[in-house]
Structure 1
Amino acid sequence: MPSIDDVRRIAAELPGSEERDTTAGPAWFVRNKAFVWECRAWPSIPTDLREIIERELVVGVKLAQPIDARALREMQPDVFLEQTTRWGEPKVAFRMAGIDADHLEELIIESWRVQAPRYLRREVDDRLGFASDS
């Protein structure tokens, strides 16, 4: 099972990534925009989700479209949680126990891409051999 240290390592490799300690726990930002964070059991979160977050490590990522969150939830409902809060939509929270290392890396990189400016995305695209967006 990946840990928060795995999140930290993956995020640290992305240009412009900055880790911050927030009231909700560690979070990673690019150009002051959050792209991955540890979820905490806030009172405003529905009780069933709050109980999961209290028992195990849950991480959230920013997504490009609401349909992306819905697709992940439908493909793996035991891993990807229903909406935790309305803040920062679209996003998805997932149980780290259900994510393998490759999928975790993919989720973090894609989330970073959603928030990163074009010039930083090009840097990663060049490094990973992706076709750059214009």
Structure 2
Amino acid sequence: MATWDDVRRIALSLPETTEKPSYDGLPAWKVRDKGFVWERPLRRADLEALGDAAPAGPILGARVPDLGAREALLADDPAVYFTTPHLDGYPAVLVRLARIDTDELTELITEAWYARAPKRLAAAHRAGPPAG
């Protein structure tokens, strides 16, 4: 079970990441002012759309590279990943934080970071530290 402390630790370990409150005052993590993961409680419209399937507990929003990646995550593990009509057509998923392990969370957050980081910064991170 992952926690907000895990999200914070993983996100802030990535280059040039900052934690800044989102427009609604909730935690959000950004790379050069582009959000890649954020706390995303369900809103009234979300609850109405999801009905009995609406999860309880903490919800993480995460960017994904594209809509294909989004659909793959939603299909692969619907116990962890879900969406709402509000996110239709948007490359992001919602995550039941209590149902994701920290290894998968690390992969998700890192991929979200790559989806939003400038190309040169992402390439430098993928290359790793300089040899020597």
Q: Could you tell me how far apart the structure 2 residues matched to 1:110 and 1:39 are?
A: 18
Q: What's the counterpart of residue 16 of structure 1?
A: 16
Q: What is the aligned residue count?
A: 127
Q: What's the counterpart of residue 97 of structure 1?
A: 98
Q: CA deviation at 1:43?
A: 2.5
Q: Which moved more, 1:62-71 or 1:102-111?
A: 62-71
Q: What's the counterpart of residue 106 of structure 1?
A: 107
Q: CA deviation at 1:88?
A: 8.2
CA contact (8 A) 1:24 1:40 kept: no
Q: CA deviation at 1:84?
A: 5.2
CA contact (8 A) 1:63 1:92 kept: yes
Q: CA deviation at 1:87?
A: 7.8
Q: Could you tell me how far apart the structure 2 residues matched to 1:66 and 1:109 are?
A: 17
Q: What's the counterpart of residue 116 of structure 1?
A: 117
Change (3 A) 1:115 1:109: same
Q: What's the counterpart of residue 6 of structure 1?
A: 6
Per-residue deviation, residues 50-92 of structure 1 (Å, max 9, x unmatched): 942xx20111110111111111111111111133523881100
Q: Could you tell me how far apart the structure 2 residues matched to 1:88 and 1:38 are?
A: 20
Structure 2 gaps, min length 5: none
TM-score normalized with structure 2 length: 0.85
The structure 1 segments of at least 4 consecutive aligned residues displaced by more than 6 Å after TM superposition are: none
CA contact (8 A) 1:80 1:94 kept: yes
Q: CA deviation at 1:42?
A: 2.0
TM-score normalized with structure 1 length: 0.83
CA contact (8 A) 1:84 1:93 kept: no
Q: How does 1:1-134 map to 2 (within 5 A)?
A: 1-22=1-22, 23=24, 25-47=26-48, 48=50, 51-52=54-55, 55-83=56-84, 85-86=86-87, 89-127=90-128
- Report the AA paired with residue 65 of structure 2: A
Q: Could you tell me how far apart the structure 2 residues matched to 1:5 and 1:88 are?
A: 30
- Report the AA paired with residue 61 of structure 1: A
Q: CA deviation at 1:24?
A: 5.2
Local SS of the residue matching 1:78: coil
Percent sequence identity over matched residues? 34
Change (3 A) 1:24 1:68: farther
